[in-house]
Amino acid sequence: MIHFLASIAMTAALALNGPGHGYHVGDKAEDFKLKNVDGKMVSLSDIPKAKGYIVVFTCNTCPYAKAYEQRIIDLHNKYASKGYSVVAINPNDKDVKPDDSYENMQILAKEKKYPFVYLYDETQDVAKRFGATRTPHVYLLDADKTVRYIGAIDDNSEDAAAVQAKYVENAIDAMSAGKTIATPETKAIGCSIKWKKTN
Amino acid sequence: MKKLAILPVLLFGFCDVRSQDVPMIQIDQLSYWKNNTSDTVYVLNFWATWCGPCVAELPEFEKLNKNYKDKNVQVVLISTDFKRNLETDVKSFVLKHSLQSRVVFLNEPRANDYINLVHPDWSGSLPATLIVANNKSYQRFFEQKLSYEELEAAVKAAL
């Protein structure tokens, strides 16, 4: 029996890394505490008067993350004053991808003048709990930290000018108007999260 | 006038000899691979020149392509690079590494339109590989870097 339970627990732990696991739309997200680029520990509950949270798994290096840097800044600048701040999280392992180290996060945040927190998920526990698989990967939470949207920022990674559907903006606008989010889940090409090597 | 009309044909022919062309494909081609009734085994690898694990596993696909050339297996390397980098990155990569497997460029800027069509388990992360044998209703999808052994086992099961 113990063996049986142990094997279930192990399977569950392994499954956390795979796609299709982690939070789904409608699940309540657990708060976390991660180190920001300014050295301070940050939780979602630290953000005052939040009506929701735009949690973005991203990194310093991925060409898709790079393509969205300015769009993530614009999202924050448009919505933070309305109660929806961007919470950017880098989940990549620095041993696998040295340019995604905490020090390089600090350099990038300074260079780009990030107006939002940029947190380091060193243990990768938060990314696993959310079920993030790639960068960028967005989870929009409401004030109760219930997941309301998962996916891409918009429908055109390469060309911001050619975007037809602004998925995250549409979701926030619907949510804050008390309407149903028409497209609660989307997918996009992204860089795989660089998980720690287990052996 | 007649001579001028022949010119593009000559130029095209010349380019073709120098290196493998990288034709653009769209969603209809993905649907074809997934839905035609032939007994060909399609090994569809989604990759990009900037993707470290993708580039690292390419030799395994090249090896598979070589070893299974006469066995009704078609390896297709489907680049998802940004279109602006097709000439500079993708074509030069194909040339530099003399890739022998078929390489195509997926000319679809809206990934949400095709990711689920390729496979519902695909989150969008690269590399991703789909192996299909339509006459056997065989499908195997991987969202991970593959070893030659893993690849060959899936292809053998499909044949």
Question: Can you give the pLDDT at residue A199?
Answer: 59
Mean pLDDT of A100-120: 98
C-alpha–C-alpha distance, residues B136 and B159, integer Å: 9
B115 vs A67: CB contact, 8 Å cut-off?
A: no
Instruction: Please check whether residue A161 touches B, CB under 8 A.
Output: no
pLDDT for res A29: 98
What is the average pLDDT across B105-109? 96
Cβ contacts of A193 on chain B, cutoff 8 Å: 125
B84 to A157: CB separation less than 8 angstroms, yes or no: no
Kindly report which listed range (A3-12, A54-63, B34-43) carries the lowest average pLDDT score. Answer: A3-12
The model's pLDDT over B46-103, given as tens digits with 9 standing for 90+, comes to: 999 999 999 999 999 999 999 999 999 999 999 999 999 999 999 999 999 999 999 9
Average pLDDT score over chain A? 91
Q: Name the residue ranges covered by the structural domains of chain B.
A: 41-158
Strand order in the sheet with B125-126: A134-135, A190-192, B125-126
Would you tell me which CATH number, out of the four given (3.30.565.10, 3.30.2130.10, 1.10.10.10, 3.40.30.10), belongs to the domain B41-158? 3.40.30.10
- Domains plus CATH for chain A? 23-192 (3.40.30.10)
Tell me the shortest Cα–Cα distance from A48 to chain B, in angstroms. Answer: 32
Is the pLDDT reported for residue B37 higher than 70?
Answer: yes
Please tell me whether the interface predicted TM-score (ipTM) of this complex is above 0.90: no
Q: What is the pLDDT of residue B6?
A: 45
- How far apart are alpha carbons A142 and B71 in whole angstroms? 54
Mean pLDDT of B92-116: 96
Q: How far is B76 from chain A (nearest CA, A)?
A: 18
Task: Tell me how close the Cα of B109 comes to any Cα of chain A, in angstroms.
Answer: 6
pLDDT per residue as tens digits for the range A153-172: 999 999 999 999 999 999 99
For residues A105-112, average pLDDT? 98
Residue type, A129: R
List residues in chain B touching A: CB distance below 8 A. 46, 48, 50-51, 53, 80, 82-84, 109-112, 115-116, 121-127, 143
Q: Say how far residue B104 (Cα) sits from the centre of its chain.
A: 5
> B93: distance to nearest CA of chain A, Å?
17
Residue B115 in tokens: 């990711």
Q: Which of A18, A155, A187 sits opposite B124 (nearest CB)?
A: A187
Spatial distance between the Cα atoms of A84 and A70, rounded to a whole number of angstroms = 17
Mean pLDDT value of segment A85-102:
97
